[in-house]
A and B are shown apart, each in its own frame.
Chain A
Amino acid sequence: MSIHNEALKRSGHSSGKHAPAPHPVALETSELTVAYGSFLAVRGVSLSVRRNSIHSIIGPNGAGKTTLFHALTGRVRPSAGSIRLDDKDISHTRDDDRVRLGIARSFQVTSLFPNLSVQENLRLASQGRTPWQALAPWRSINHNKEAMATAGEVMERLSLTQVAGRAAGELSHGQQRRLEVGMALAARPRVILMDEPTSGMGVDDIEAMKELIRSLAADHTVIFVEHNMGIVMNISDTVTVMRAGQKLVEGTPAEIRDDPEVRRAYLGNMITGDIA
């Protein structure tokens, strides 16, 4: 169980950095419910995500994983329940304000600014943390040196530097998926949510993404939805299984792999990944 040791090391490391001992739970939901009309896509989900842990959410299509992310990031309003970030209620905070509080996400369906360059996409994503500065029509785009630097770093990290000047819409599918994740990184969040970051990626990209997610946990709380069980079982500290809008079970990768109900939900043989 080296994962657990790593997780312990990580949390020990981070509590030394933040001056007053931070709340051990980064993000917490209580009985969270989201309705689309009369249909409940998420039903009474209570989650508790430890600071700087890697928490994955799995479950069949239509389980409500993306909707849960929409609720956590403020894209949709929950119809019941609450969300707490660092022990502060953010249930009624707008999505753009949540970015300032330290939550950023990537989307399952790639959502970029297709006619703007890669570098400009990332600069905007970084500028989003201090958006009121951008309201000044006399400020040049180079004004925010930090945003420019962040865009550069993220491009390096995701091997997008060579295509910095290309319009996002012209990139290959794999590059667009990497930029999608980069958009979340550029916000320098404390809690990062990634919705199926590896979907549609080639083998090499998947391996790189796995390492990226693992490395993020050093200074981020990572929540991600993933269908690739190899990744889920390999790098998660905690796995939550959802089905039909509800939380089915939650536990360490080992516990999840051996859970009879999960095996039934996944028709037995879908969970194949090794545990490192």
Chain B
Amino acid sequence: MKTINNPIFHFFLAALTVVCLPLFLRSGVLASEILIFGLAVAACNLLLGFTGLLSFGQGIFFGVGSYVAGILLTRYQIPVPLMLLLSVVLGALIAVAVGWLSIRRQGVYFVMLTLAFSQFFFFLAYSFSGLTGGDNGILDVPRPVIAGFDFTNLWSYYWFVAVIFLAVFALMLRTTQSTFGRTLSAIRENEARASAVGFPVRAFKIAAFAISGAVTALAGALHAMLIGVAPLSSIEYHTSEIILIMTIIGGSGNLFASLLGAGTYMLLADVLSTIWPRWLLLLGVALIVVALFMQRGLWGLIETLVSHITATSKRTPNAATERPLHRQADGGKA
């Protein structure tokens, strides 16, 4: 299991996905959306899988990023890199505020608070229609032209997204491997002990929120440029829900699982929606199956398969003694 749960291997898988999507998909929108939601889902996973925080507020950050792109690009002609930077900063700031208030409560009450914030920000966006365009959203959000490179074509925009995706994905992998990431895991495993051992748990949770909000807002901004609109639906509760569902489908143990979850959801939605307009029903069934039979998500399924395969191929007389030795050898890296 150590071999397939190695961060460098996960980065390789992500890079492979980036290269393969254009080969197998005809729609540049779908391919770009997979990467964009891959980011948002990885950010959600940082909270759910690594810190143990089930946040229904991810749509807030996604919507904020989307509006930052819409407003700054259509009304102020701010250069795209600066706009992306501002969306990241604003996403982080709002996530700090939402996180700071929500983590005051635990468990169900925490979840309820994030849900309440999600509703609050939706009505805020809906009410301030002068700024957000209300129901119509902000139209004609342009794709970038940076230093003579034109990314307005769909597939060239895909590569623009791909580079950002890989850079951010690498940074997030690094984050999960850092002392910070390990401390988040410790908080997820045993919050009381993490605190007793000396960690200011709240500060760590807020920092996790900040990173999650920053990355999700970045995804929102990229999405607005992709579809050319900053719609009201981006900040709707439904966006939070989709991001969470993708996170759970993929599995919450590692970040590549998030890309897997986003990809699977988007592809299923794409295929099913052409077959049957009531496809969301089937998605509901798929989710029930995941919740009942594959609680570790698709990645958990892959892990199980790989361990079956390696177990059968390694069935040697001294297999029993091999295991503890193997563990011991891992000690230094763990």
A and B from one assembly? yes
Cβ contacts under 8 Å, B183 to chain A: 124, 127, 131, 134
Chain B: CB-nearest residue to A100: B198
Cβ contacts under 8 Å, A183 to chain B: 193, 197
CB distance from B174 to the nearest CB of A (A): 7
B328 close to A96 (CB less than 8 A): no
B190 close to A124 (CB less than 8 A): no
Say yes or no for A133: interface residue by CB 8 A criterion. yes
Segment of B104-112, B200-208, B283-291 engaged in the interface with chain A: B200-208
CB distance from A162 to the nearest CB of B (A): 7
Segment of A5-13, A114-122, A228-236, A259-267 engaged in the interface with chain B: A114-122
Say yes or no for B292: interface residue by CB 8 A criterion. no
A165 close to B330 (CB less than 8 A): yes
Whole-angstrom CA separation of A128 from B330 in the bound complex:
24
Cβ contacts under 8 Å, B180 to chain A: 134-137, 139
> What is the size, in residues, of chain B's interface with A at 8 Å between Cβ atoms?
35
Whole-angstrom CA separation of A187 from B197 in the bound complex:
7
B198 close to A99 (CB less than 8 A): yes
Given A111-B190, A137-B211, A75:B334 Cβ within 8 A? no
- Contacting A at CB under 8 A, from B317-334, are 327-334
A141 close to B195 (CB less than 8 A): no
Cβ contacts under 8 Å, B197 to chain A: 96, 99, 104, 124-125, 128, 183, 187
Whole-angstrom CA separation of A93 from B207 in the bound complex:
22
A95 close to B196 (CB less than 8 A): yes
Partner of A119, one of B186, B329, B331: B331
Whole-angstrom CA separation of A114 from B186 in the bound complex:
9
CB distance from B251 to the nearest CB of A (A): 15
Given A134-B179, A135-B180, A135-B204, A114:B195 Cβ within 8 A? no
Cβ contacts under 8 Å, A187 to chain B: 197-198
Given A99-B197, A127-B179, A137:B189 Cβ within 8 A? no
Say yes or no for A257: interface residue by CB 8 A criterion. no
Cβ contacts under 8 Å, A139 to chain B: 178-180
B327 close to A140 (CB less than 8 A): no
Partner of A96, one of B174, B185, B198, B331: B198
Q: Is the interface of B mostly helix, strand, loop or mixed?
A: helix
Chain A: CB-nearest residue to B193: A111
Whole-angstrom CA separation of A4 from B177 in the bound complex:
50
Whole-angstrom CA separation of A73 from B197 in the bound complex:
10
Contact with B along A138-160 (1 / 0, CB 8 A): 11110110000000000000000
Cβ contacts under 8 Å, B177 to chain A: 140-141
A141 close to B178 (CB less than 8 A): yes
Say yes or no for A105: interface residue by CB 8 A criterion. yes
CB distance from B4 to the nearest CB of A (A): 17
Cβ contacts under 8 Å, B182 to chain A: 116, 120, 124, 134, 141
Contact with B along A71-106 (1 / 0, CB 8 A): 001010000000000000000001111011000110
Partner of B178, one of A112, A119, A120, A136: A136
Cβ contacts under 8 Å, A119 to chain B: 331, 334
CB distance from A153 to the nearest CB of B (A): 15
Whole-angstrom CA separation of A202 from B229 in the bound complex:
68
Cβ contacts under 8 Å, B195 to chain A: 95-96
Given A113-B186, A116-B189, A183-B197, A138:B329 Cβ within 8 A? no
Chain A: CB-nearest residue to B176: A137
Size bracket of the A interface: 35 or more
Chain B: CB-nearest residue to A124: B186
Cβ contacts under 8 Å, B152 to chain A: none
CB distance from A123 to the nearest CB of B (A): 8
Among A135, A143, A163, residue most surrounded by chain B Cβ atoms (within 10 Å):
A135
B181 close to A114 (CB less than 8 A): no
Given A116-B186, A141-B182, A143-B179, A135:B203 Cβ within 8 A? yes
Say yes or no for B175: interface residue by CB 8 A criterion. yes
Partner of A138, one of B174, B186, B203: B174
CB distance from B48 to the nearest CB of A (A): 15
Contact with B along A6-27 (1 / 0, CB 8 A): 0000000000000000000000
A137 close to B196 (CB less than 8 A): no
Whole-angstrom CA separation of A75 from B332 in the bound complex:
33
Say yes or no for B151: interface residue by CB 8 A criterion. no
Cβ contacts under 8 Å, A100 to chain B: 198
Cβ contacts under 8 Å, A140 to chain B: 177-179
Cβ contacts under 8 Å, B211 to chain A: 137
Say yes or no for B280: interface residue by CB 8 A criterion. no
- Contacting B at CB under 8 A, from A159-177, are 162-166
Say yes or no for B279: interface residue by CB 8 A criterion. no
Whole-angstrom CA separation of A163 from B175 in the bound complex:
27
9 interchain pairs, CB-CB under 8 A: A99-B196, A111-B196, A113-B185, A113-B193, A124-B194, A135-B180, A137-B211, A138-B175, A166-B327
Task: Identify 6 new A-B residue pairs, CB closer than 8 A, beyond the known A137-B181, A140-B178, A165-B330.
Answer: A95-B196, A113-B189, A127-B183, A127-B198, A135-B180, A137-B180
Which 5 pairs, one residue from A and one from B, show the smallest C-beta to C-beta distance?
A: A128-B198, A165-B331, A99-B198, A164-B331, A128-B197
Chain A interface (Cβ < 8 Å from any Cβ of B): 73, 75, 94-97, 99-100, 104-105, 107, 111-117, 119-120, 124-125, 127-129, 131-141, 143-144, 162-166, 183, 187
